[in-house]
């Protein structure tokens, strides 16, 4: 028996050599008025999500309005990300954090994020380099962890976790917790080193659609260490329970 052998055809690596001249997006398989279809990871998408846009009510009348927004533009693997979070009380911006990041997927459910952070509000502005990860942890926990390095040897760490418990297909209970740590005192911004602030809460929302969901909830928040001393020195409470009402949206 003589085995097959010899040289491969000269066009063996040509992707169009055996298509009889047909090409994607033209000829017999072209659909008039429809652009060439590509895979999802080749498309460019944009999204804006309002995780929280709410009014917070406390017993001593220390009410405030807060927002937590996130927008991104790019592909499934690479995207530009903007995060904005702030607190407005008595018509004044108390504190705000804005981050401009570049996100890169490194697994199916996780992105690395690298960029800049700017703090505004009470006290002088602060600038930071930011590096973190964001994604879906086992058992469907949304997790966001970011480390920061600022001028003057400042460092910080922020951890945010949430979980969605579906009571029905539209009624959803969301536990959420956040921790903030700082590496050194910053009296001008009323921040102490170590665990500075922590909060944990429950929000119950009703999704009229996946893009629009009003909610109500309760949250327990607190300041610790030197940060708590700064808060008490201004006549405020370092620990408080707040009722919240707001809306969650995305498009």
pLDDT for position 164: 96
* Residue 33 covered by a domain: no
Q: pLDDT tens digits for the chain (251 residues)?
A: 454 566 767 766 666 666 676 666 666 666 666 666 556 666 788 999 999 999 999 877 778 999 999 999 998 889 999 999 999 988 889 899 999 999 999 988 999 999 999 999 888 999 999 999 999 999 999 999 999 999 989 999 999 999 999 999 999 999 999 999 999 999 999 999 999 999 999 999 999 999 999 999 999 999 999 999 998 998 888 899 999 999 999 98
Phi, psi at 42, each rounded to 5°:
-100, -15
Residue of 86, 88, 85 lying closest to 62 (CA atoms): 88
Per-position DSSP letters for 220-248, written without gaps between them:
EEEE-HHHHHHHHHTT--SEEEEEEEEEE
pLDDT for position 237: 86
* Residue 29 covered by a domain: no
* Residue 36 covered by a domain: no
Domain that holds residue 189: 43-250
Token pair, residue 240, equals: 């408080």
The whole-angstrom separation of Cα 7 and Cα 206 is: 67
Total number of domains constituting the chain: 1
Does the global pTM surpass 0.85? Answer: no
Tell me the Cα Rg of the chain: 25
- How many Cα neighbours within 13 Å face the side chain of 68? 10
Token pair, residue 217, equals: 């909830």
pLDDT for position 59: 75
pLDDT for position 58: 84
Question: Nearest 5 degrees, angle CA 206-CA 208-CA 210?
Answer: 90
Residues 30-35: contacts with CB within 8 Å, 24+ apart?
A: none
Given the DSSP bridges, would you call strands 212-223 and 194-206 parallel, antiparallel or unpaired? Answer: antiparallel
Residues 117 and 98 sit within 8 Å (Cβ to Cβ): yes
pLDDT for position 21: 67
The whole-angstrom separation of Cα 127 and Cα 53 is: 25
pLDDT for position 65: 95
* Residue 148 covered by a domain: yes
* Residue 31 covered by a domain: no
* Residue 202 covered by a domain: yes
pLDDT for position 28: 66
* Residue 22 covered by a domain: no
Residue 131, domain CATH = 2.40.160.40
Residue of 91, 79, 88, 3 lying closest to 41 (CA atoms): 79
């Amino acid at each position: 028996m003589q085995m097959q052998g010899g040289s491969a055809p000269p066009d063996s690596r040509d992707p169009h050599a055996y298509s009889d001249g047909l090409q994607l997006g033209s000829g017999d398989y072209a659909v008039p008025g429809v652009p060439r279809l590509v895979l999802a990871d080749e498309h460019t998408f944009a999204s804006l999500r309002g995780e929280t846009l709410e009014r917070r009510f406390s017993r001593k009348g220390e009410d405030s309005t807060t927002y937590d927004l996130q927008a991104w533009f790019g592909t499934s693997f690479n995207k530009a990300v903007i995060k904005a979070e702030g607190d407005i009380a008595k018509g004044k911006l108390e504190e705000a954090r804005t981050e401009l990041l570049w996100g890169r997927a490194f697994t199916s459910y996780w992105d690395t994020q690298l960029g800049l952070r700017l703090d505004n509000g009470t006290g002088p502005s602060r600038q930071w380099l930011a590096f973190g990860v964001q994604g879906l942890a086992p058992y469907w926990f949304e997790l966001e962890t970011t480390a920061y390095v600022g001028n003057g040897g400042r460092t910080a760490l922020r951890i945010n976790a949430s979980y969605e418990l579906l009571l029905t297909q539209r009624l959803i209970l969301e536990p959420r917790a956040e921790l903030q740590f700082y590496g050194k005192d910053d009296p001008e911004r009323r921040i102490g080193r170590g665990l500075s602030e922590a909060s944990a809460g429950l929000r119950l929302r009703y999704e009229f659609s996946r893009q629009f969901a009003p909610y109500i909830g309760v949250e327990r928040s607190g300041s610790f260490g030197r940060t708590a001393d700064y808060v008490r020195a201004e006549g405020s409470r370092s620990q408080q329970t707040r009722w919240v009402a707001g809306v969650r949206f995305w498009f």
